Amino acid sequence: MTDETPTTEDPRGLLPDHVYDILKWVSIIVMPALATFVVGLGGIWSLPFAGQAASTVTAVGVLLGALLGLSSVSYNSSKASTATTTTTDD
């Protein structure tokens, strides 16, 4: 007789869900808006190093996005491995 029992483990990512959601919002919305804001004010007020500051903000946003991508891959691979069923023979 063959019984197929799904595993009950929850998939685990590198970050808790609420932290992931906040960091994703920061990397998608806040960082590009902040970089645009710095470039805009730098041009209007002739602020020194506005371009460099905006580039730094953009680089941090890209790094954050890459790290979140790694967390997503880890979560999805964990989710796929826990969704498999185990077969037992009696």
Question: Which bin fits 49, alpha (ψ -120 to 50), beta or left (φ > 0)?
Answer: left
CB 7 within 8 A of CB 78: no
Strand extents, DSSP E, the chain = 2-6, 85-89
Asked if the structure places residue 22 within a domain, the reply is yes
Query: Is the per-residue pLDDT at 14 higher than 80?
Result: no
At 87, is the pLDDT very low, low, confident or very high (cuts 50, 70, 90)?
Answer: low
For 17, the domain range is 13-76
How much is the average pLDDT of 3-21? 72
Who has greater pLDDT, 44 or 14? Answer: 44
Q: Could you give the number of structural domains in the chain?
A: 1
Give a yes or no: residue 6 inside a domain: no
Q: What is the mean pLDDT of residues 20-44?
A: 97
Q: Across the chain, what does the average pLDDT equal?
A: 85
CA geometry: angle 40, 41, 42, nearest 5 deg = 90
pLDDT of residue 2: 55
| Residue 53 in domain | yes
Classify residue 38: in a domain, yes or no.
yes
- Is residue 32 within 8 Å of 58, Cβ to Cβ? yes
Residue 43 lies in a domain: yes
Residue 26 inside a domain? The answer is yes
